[in-house]
């Protein structure tokens, strides 16, 4: 019987265990299960080291707020919590619906292209081509302004809200 030479991972493990040369099918299957268990354990350890996890809990009111915000932003609760906390920390704006933003940008681009095409045709409904150039510049500027405002709105100073009862009790 002709044997194939395999390199890497499981084949090195099976060869090192000696089951390829001297083991039965049952021994090979057992060694493969053991390899898979070791591999999975090592993978999970590496993943946990590179991807720390945090566990938080919410009151019912807080959970309701998070659920509504996640729904409004078209994200799962966990994705919303992660993206919102990173956006807050980085002082970035969390776009409520990236798909709608992309559609808006596409529509502005299509309008721009349509006006540009009309301005280049020989039968020009306007008297002067310069009016088209002005329209094109305005549409282009509108596209840039909308994108800038939506993606990078002006920073709002952070106001820390706190429980008024706790605030009053600390004064007494």
- CA-to-CA distance for 30 and 10, rounded, in angstroms? 12
Question: pTM of the full predicted structure?
Answer: 0.49
What does the pLDDT look like over 77-103, one tens digit per residue? Answer: 999 999 999 988 888 778 777 777 777
Determine contact, residues 112/133, Cβ cutoff 8 Å. no
- CA-to-CA distance for 42 and 50, rounded, in angstroms? 12
Low-confidence ranges of the chain (pLDDT < 50): 1-2, 156, 160-172
């Amino acid at each position: 019987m002709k044997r194939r030479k395999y390199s890497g991972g499981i084949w090195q493990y099976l060869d090192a265990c000696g089951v390829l040369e001297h083991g039965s099918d049952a021994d090979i299957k057992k060694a493969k299960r053991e390899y898979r268990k070791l591999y999975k354990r090592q993978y999970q350890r590496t993943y946990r080291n590179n991807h720390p996890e945090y566990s938080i809990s919410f009151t019912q009111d807080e959970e309701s707020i998070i659920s509504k915000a996640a729904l409004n932003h078209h994200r799962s609760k966990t994705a919303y919590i992660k993206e919102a906390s990173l956006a807050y920390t980085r002082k970035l704006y969390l776009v409520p619906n990236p798909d709608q933003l992309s559609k808006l940008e596409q529509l502005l681009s299509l309008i721009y292209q349509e006006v540009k095409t009309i301005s280049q045709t020989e039968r020009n409904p306007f008297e002067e081509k310069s009016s088209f150039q002005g329209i094109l510049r305005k549409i282009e500027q509108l596209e840039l302004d909308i994108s800038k405002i939506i993606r990078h709105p002006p920073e709002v100073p952070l106001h820390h809200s706190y429980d008024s009862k706790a605030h009053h009790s600390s004064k007494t």
